[in-house]
C-alpha cells in the first residue's frame, strides 16, 4: 500500500491533557510520525469522563488551535481537528445541550467509549436518545470490549439500531493479541464496523499502525474494503452521510472467550 492522504479520526495527540503525549515535543514527534505514514489530518480525541480525565469542548478547541499554530511554524504538513472520546455516562445528552460535548470535527457524529469489560445496560437507550437529537454515535474500539467479544449480538443490535463503530488499526495488525485481531476481522466481515483509526497515544507502544492495518485489510478483504474505510473517514470530516452496509450477526464461537486486552 502506497503513502496516501489519510484522515485519522481517533488520536490522542494534544499534549498534557490525558494519557497521550505529556509534552509538546512528544506531540510533535507524533505529528511527524503521522505524516510519515501518509496521514494528512488528525482528529484530536482526548478522553472525557473516563474517571481519570475530563476535557470539555471549549478546552479542546483551545488546545487544537494552539497545536495547529505550532505545526504551521514547525512546517509539519498536518491539520488537527477537534473531537472528544466520551466514556459513556447517563448525563451525556444533557451535557451536549449545555455545549460541553465536542462532536467529531464539528460533525453530527459523536464518539462513545464503553468500559473495557462491560456494556452498560442503559447504553441502548442513551444511543437511541442521541439519535433522536440528530446525533450519530460512533462506538470506539468495540473489538476490545470483553462483553462484546463474548456476546457479539450486543454490537449487532446497536449497529442495527443506527450506531456506527470504529476499530483500532493496532487491533487489525495484531498488537492487542490474536483473539482481538480475529474478532476485528469478523467485525469487518459482518459489516459491523465503519471506520479504522489509530487511537494513537505515543510513538512507542501505542503508535499509528495505519499503513500496516490497511495492508492487512487489503490482503484479506481486498482493496475495496480499505478504500471503504478511507472514504468514510473523509465523509465524516465533511459531515456527509457515511456509507453503511447491512449488518450481519456474528455467530458466537468458543474461541471468542479466549483473548487478551
260 band by pLDDT with thresholds 50, 70 and 90 = very low
Give the closest residue to 163 by CA, choosing from 191, 195, 127: 127
Residue 135 sits in a domain whose CATH number is 3.20.20.140
In a domain, 223, yes or no: yes
How do residues 71-108 score in pLDDT, each as one tens digit? 999 999 999 999 999 999 999 999 999 999 999 999 99
- For the chain, how many structural domains are there in total? 1
Distances (CA, A) of 142 to 3, 17, 130, 167: 27, 24, 18, 7
In a domain, 111, yes or no: yes
In a domain, 1, yes or no: no
What's the pTM? 0.94
Contacts of 103 (CB under 8 A, 6+ apart): 83, 84, 109, 110, 135
pLDDT beyond 90 at 190? yes
The pLDDT assigned to 50 comes to: 86
**What is the distance, to the nearest Å, from the Cα of residue 10 to the centroid of all Cα atoms in its chain?**
4
Residue numbers of the domain that contains 33: 6-257
Amino acid at each position: 500500500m502506497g503513502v496516501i492522504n489519510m484522515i485519522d479520526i481517533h488520536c490522542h495527540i494534544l499534549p498534557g491533557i490525558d494519557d497521550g503525549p505529556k509534552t509538546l515535543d512528544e506531540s510533535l514527534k507524533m505529528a511527524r510520525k503521522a505524516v510519515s505514514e501518509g496521514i494528512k489530518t488528525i482528529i484530536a480525541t482526548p478522553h472525557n469522563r473516563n474517571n481519570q480525565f475530563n476535557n470539555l469542548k471549549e478546552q479542546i478547541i483551545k488546545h487544537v488551535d494552539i497545536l495547529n499554530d505550532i505545526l504551521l511554524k514547525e512546517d509539519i504538513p498536518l491539520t488537527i481537528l477537534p473531537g472528544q472520546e466520551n466514556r459513556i455516562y447517563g448525563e451525556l445528552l444533557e451535557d451536549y445541550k449545555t455545549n460541553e460535548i465536542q462532536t467529531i470535527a464539528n460533525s453530527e457524529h459523536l464518539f462513545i467509549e464503553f468500559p473495557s469489560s462491560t456494556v452498560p445496560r442503559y447504553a441502548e437507550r442513551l444511543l437511541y436518545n442521541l439519535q433522536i437529537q440528530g446525533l450519530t454515535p460512533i462506538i470506539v474500539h468495540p473489538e476490545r470490549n470483553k462483553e462484546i467479544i463474548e456476546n457479539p449480538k450486543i454490537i449487532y443490535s446497536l449497529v442495527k439500531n443506527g450506531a456506527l463503530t470504529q476499530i483500532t488499526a493496532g487491533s487489525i495488525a495484531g498488537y492487542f493479541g490474536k483473539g482481538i485481531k480475529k474478532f476485528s476481522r469478523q467485525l469487518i466481515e459482518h459489516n459491523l464496523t465503519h471506520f479504522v483509526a489509530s487511537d494513537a497515544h505515543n510513538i512507542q507502544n501505542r503508535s499509528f499502525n495505519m499503513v500496516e492495518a490497511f495492508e492487512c485489510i487489503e490482503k484479506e478483504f481486498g482493496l475495496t474494503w480499505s478504500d471503504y474505510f478511507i472514504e468514510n473517514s473523509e465523509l465524516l470530516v465533511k459531515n456527509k452521510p457515511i456509507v453503511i452496509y447491512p449488518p450481519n450477526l456474528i455467530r458466537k464461537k468458543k474461541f471468542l472467550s479466549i483473548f487478551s486486552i
